A and B are shown apart, each in its own frame.
Chain A
Amino acid sequence: NAGVTQTPKFQVLKTGQSMTLQCAQDMNHNSMYWYRQDPGMGLRLIYYSASEGTTDKGEVPNGYNVSRLNKREFSLRLESAAPSQTSVYFCASSARAYNEQFFGPGTRLTVL
């Protein structure tokens, strides 16, 4: 039981490049989330998926897209990376929207 896994762990991009961050959970959770964490700040919600087949914007969705591929997987895509997107990205999942969330180890992204 790996919990929430994320790939890659580290990534460096040039401005304008695209990439997809992958997230998977093996806890049979319905809800999944993507957050970003910047120095000295709490986590800010980018997008979430309350259940398979649905996605909704969070607090800071601009510049990102998501896909809930199936119940296990929830990916985050940067279509044209910008330096302002340099951050640590965390994926999380919860059994339902009103439960505690379990977090992955994070992806450290640097955009040059």
Chain B
Amino acid sequence: GESVGLHLPTLSVQEGDNSIINCAYSNSASDYFIWYKQESGKGPQFIIDIRSNMDKRQGQRVTVLLNKTVKHLSLQIAATQPGDSAVYFCAEILPSNDYKLSFGAGTTVTVRA
């Protein structure tokens, strides 16, 4: 079954504001996490990843934070744009699970103009 989950299934954000998407995981042995973005009618697209020996990683307009103490990670999108409207998935890899990805159900982000 699922070992990752997202706190909220939907998020509505005003254009220009920052977005924060949360994800909780249950297995403390998980050591690699990935955020994917999926636009309507397309396959998931890699956004950013983080390994368990880090607590923060930054990309272009995105930051992923990992809190291993409470088994929580978040994706922050700065200055949200209409093109950021999509479904966002967090996924984890468990070494004990043959390194297979386990996906959460996703958060749908809608950007208001």
Residues on A lying within 8 angstroms of B by beta carbon are 4, 33, 40-45, 48, 50, 56, 58, 90, 92, 97-98, 100-106
Residues of A within 8 A of B105 (CB): 40-42
If the complex has contacts A42-B2, A98-B93, A100-B49, are A48 and B43 also in contact, measured as CB distance less than 8 A?
Answer: no
| Residue B45 is within 8 A (CB to CB) of chain A in the complex | yes
Shortest C-beta distance, B79 to chain A (Å), equals 24
Per-position contact with A for B78-113: 1 when CB-CB < 8 Å, else 0? 000000000001010101001111011110000000
**Chain B minimum-CB-distance residue to A91:** B43
The 8 closest A-B pairs by CB, nearest first: A103-B43, A42-B103, A97-B99, A43-B103, A98-B99, A103-B44, A42-B105, A100-B46
Residues of B within 8 A of A48 (CB): 100
